[in-house]
Chains A and B, each alone.
Chain A
Amino acid sequence: MSLFSDPRWTEALSHLPDYLGNHVRVSLAALTLGLIVSLPLAIVARNRPLLRGALLGFASIVQTVPGLALLALFYPLLLVLAALTLSWFGFDFSAFGFLPAVLALALYSMLPVLRNTITGLSGVDPALTEAAQGVGMTERQSLFMVELPLALPVMMAGIRTAAVWVIGTATLSTPIGQTSLGNYIFAGLQTQNWVFVVFGCLAAAALALAVDQLLALIENGLRYRSRLRAALGGVGIAALVAATLVPAMARSASSYVVGAKTFTEQYVLAALIAQRLNADGLSATTRAGLGSSVIFDALKAGDIDVYVDYSGTLWANQFHHTDIRPREELLADLKATLAKQGVTLLGDLGFENAYALIMPRQRAEQLGIHTIADLAALAPSMSIAGDYEFFSRPEWAGIKGAYGLSFRTQRQMQPDFMYAAIASREVDVIAGYTSDGLIAKYDLVVLGDPKHAIPPYDAVMLLAPKRKDDAKLRAALQPLLGRIDIAAMREANLRAAGNNGSSSPDAVARWLWERIEKK
């Protein structure tokens, strides 16, 4: 199969209008907001050394915050703010997706604009500002007729830098729920779909170049007073925005939004749910790659309508319980707790995706390790790898406490790489997931948990408060409840971890549905 006949290119292309459109809108909105704030600030600050120092210092600090962290910080901040406006003024707003992304990216765009505007304005020859005064200009006229036009090339260089930064960083807004070209990259990374990763990178780079060139055109137009060039550049930007608005408007507003966290199984399940809704004539879109802490709040706020979570995760992380109950009891308790918050626990899917400590079968047998209790004695000489959140989750504290575990080293990695790491003996033990298809593929063994330190993790379908009484939605989802067993899910996950044309979440979801139907 040649590189370009791979069906994943076509699939990637089919997402382009949605992803690119959202990316353009969020980037340009952020850049516009950044300019509206930065330009006047720079003008006011240029002759005030204290303010100038403070502003540039602040912008520099913002710049040192990693883009992903900055984006992630705005989400809880806005949630609090939305709660405040609701209690004070009786309205709230969505702290999910667009707004936090725009605010964080706008902040990110400030440094180059501030710095270049201040540098550009202070670089204007004093003889010329004197001449401006001499011919009878007011301070304002001097600024707009002489200083700004002369500083323009330096300012535009800053604006272009900001544009390229914002467009690049906007790919990181996927985990806080803003669809962007980052969806390709996050999904591709999770499902080992390198076609998606490459496609996302190329698309983001092409967009950055295009916007940079359009801004250059506007700059040239302004500098050489060519209305044509400035207009062409302006029209280009406007056309970009307009072109991306069309598909967004064409999409029905009443569309259901299916959420997915950042790992393979979630991508497959979200695709499956969307397919079921479509099959029942309901339009559905997916918002994949959402952070674990973002997704539940997004559901509660109605930003997404449905997603699959795991009972133990909700129990421990969302509701901060430390006790571990039997499966049925925990489910019932959880259902009641969720209902109090308006969230419907529609039912469980039929499989469990529990955290589990996993070792290569051969090695475990050699060492006589069958359970975590057996592992405890040898752990101090071993290394363990887990996903990004595992070691900070309460379950890990629970396991460590129950068995007195202490490893030589702990490493965090991307879940799919974790399996490759244990297969190559890079690490001795991994904190994996019971539904993972790679367990069979790499001939690994799940260690027993005789003390029941790990809570049950039944996959459960959750509905947003506003969809509580949505009969059509419930009917469409009903066929999935209790129908996906652990074997089916493992195989689906294994298929999705493959790196070929039939391993896209959509294709695997179709396969999974066929299998469910056959039963």
Chain B
Amino acid sequence: MSNGPLIAYTNVGKTFANGDVVAVDDVSLEVAEGEFLAIVGGSGSGKTTLLRLANRLIDADSGSVMVEGEDVRNVDPILLRRRIGYVFQSGGLFPHLSVAGNIGITPRLLGWPAAEIAGRVDELLDLVQLDGGQYRERLPQELSGGQRQRVGVARALAARPRIVLMDEPFGALDPLTRDALGDDFRELHGRLKLTTVMITHDMTEALLLADRVAVMHGGRLLAQGTPVELSDSTDPYVEKLLHTPRRQAERLGRLLPRDGAA
């Protein structure tokens, strides 16, 4: 199995509102084990639908979605979701549960013993760089946006998944927090040998964090590849998306010369 892709979409289609809205249109895409893939697109591009097809929050109308070598249609969706980490936009933390209660939720659903859950919660708080003694019993509303998203990441990792799906995880954060969290997660991705699919509308973020970037527009997959491969694309939409980071990089390079480097 380590040879094949960990997630594979083959000619996947999905429509909503009785076929009036085409969300995903004949998409084929593979994510290799250990890879960090970013899916970039505007709102209505179908990127969120594509992500949710992987853990059956949404079921495909046509084509197939394979996860860890199995067609997801043949897997119990509940069990599938418990073994795939999912990080929600702005956290999605349960407001009535403490930080520890939120992080430990999937292990609890899997029936882990309480002591083991408690140990795992401490380990994860450590991993996402939150002080356990200080934060374990806090409620989500007592945390800053960045702290909440760290808890969201810890929750996704709790049951030791091989795959993590991230739905615009850093979108609502201020630039500094966003940058720090992105780097920290990228580090965790490598250290824990995760396979990560992140969706974002921000091409700069995608290029800086991901190994490969896929571009969605109007339900179709326009291009996919490493940043270098992507920059060869002749698709006008892809070029438009790349234009902004390119121009910003050039201008920033001119504006912020390091001593002796410029």
Contacts and interface: CB of A to CB of B under 8 A. Distances in A.
A134 B93 CA distance: 11
A131 B81 contact: no
Contacts of B47: none
A131 B94 contact: yes
Contacts of B208: none
25 contacts: A127-B92, A128-B92, A128-B94, A128-B95, A130-B57, A130-B88, A131-B88, A131-B92, A132-B94, A133-B57, A134-B55, A134-B81, A134-B88, A135-B81, A135-B82, A135-B106, A136-B78, A137-B78, A138-B78, A141-B109, A145-B105, A146-B94, A149-B96, A150-B94, A150-B96
B86 A134 contact: yes
A328 to B, nearest CB: 78
Nearest to A223: B96
Contacts of B217: none
A141 B89 CA distance: 22
Interface string B149-183: 00000010000000000000000000000000000
A226 to B, nearest CB: 13
Contacts of B93: 131
B143 interface: no
B79 interface: yes
Q: Which of A127, A131, A223 has the most CB of B within 10 A?
A: A131
Contact of B92 (A134, A138, A145, A223): A134
Identify the 8 closest CB pairs spanning chains A and B, nearest first: A136-B82, A131-B92, A136-B81, A134-B86, A149-B96, A135-B106, A135-B105, A136-B109
Interface in B43-98: 55, 57, 78-79, 81-82, 86, 88-89, 92-96
Contacts of B57: 130, 133-134
A132 to B, nearest CB: 8
Nearest to A149: B96
Interface residues of A, number: 17
A311 B89 CA distance: 81
A137 B77 CA distance: 10
A369 B191 CA distance: 111
Interface in A144-161: 145-146, 149-150
Interface of A: 127-128, 130-138, 141, 145-146, 149-150, 223
A38 B95 CA distance: 26
Nearest to A125: B95
A497 B225 CA distance: 98
A136 B156 CA distance: 11
Interface residues of B, number: 19
A136 B78 CA distance: 5
Contacts of B79: 136
A217 B140 CA distance: 24
A136 B94 contact: no
A137 B89 CA distance: 18
A45 B88 CA distance: 29
Contacts of A135: 81-82, 86, 105-106, 109, 155
A135 B96 CA distance: 16
A223 B96 CA distance: 8
Given A131-B93, A133-B81, 18 more contacts: A127-B88, A127-B89, A127-B92, A130-B57, A130-B88, A131-B92, A132-B94, A133-B57, A134-B55, A134-B81, A134-B86, A137-B78, A145-B94, A146-B94, A146-B96, A149-B96, A150-B95, A223-B96
Contacts of B55: 134
Nearest to B90: A127
A156 to B, nearest CB: 14
Contacts of A130: 57, 88, 92
A137 B94 contact: no
Contacts of A132: 94
A132 B93 CA distance: 9
Nearest to B167: A134
Nearest to A136: B82
A220 to B, nearest CB: 13
Contacts of A134: 55, 57, 81, 86, 88, 92
A466 B82 CA distance: 67
A131 B92 CA distance: 6
Contacts of B86: 134-135
B32 to A, nearest CB: 24
A223 B139 CA distance: 12
B78 to A, nearest CB: 6
B109 A137 contact: yes
Nearest to B108: A145
A134 B55 CA distance: 8
A146 B94 CA distance: 7
A319 B125 CA distance: 82
A131 B88 CA distance: 7
Nearest to B88: A131
Nearest to B89: A127
Nearest to B56: A133
Nearest to B101: A225
Contacts of A149: 96
Contacts of A127: 88-89, 92
Contacts of B109: 135-137, 141
A176 to B, nearest CB: 43
Q: Which of B79, B88, B89 has the most CB of A within 10 A?
A: B88
A128 B92 CA distance: 6
Contacts of A128: 92, 94-95
Contacts of B95: 128, 150
A134 B155 CA distance: 11
B92 A136 contact: no
A130 B92 CA distance: 8
A499 B107 CA distance: 72
A132 B57 CA distance: 11
Nearest to B55: A134
Q: Which of B81, B93, B94 has the most CB of A within 10 A?
A: B94
A266 B199 CA distance: 82
Contacts of A150: 94-96
Contacts of A131: 88, 92-94
B98 to A, nearest CB: 8
A228 to B, nearest CB: 16
Contacts of B89: 127
B142 to A, nearest CB: 13
A138 B92 CA distance: 17
Nearest to A146: B94
A382 B171 CA distance: 84
A145 B86 CA distance: 18
A160 B109 CA distance: 32
Contacts of B92: 127-128, 130-131, 134
B116 to A, nearest CB: 17
A223 B95 CA distance: 11
Interface in B100-150: 105-106, 109-110
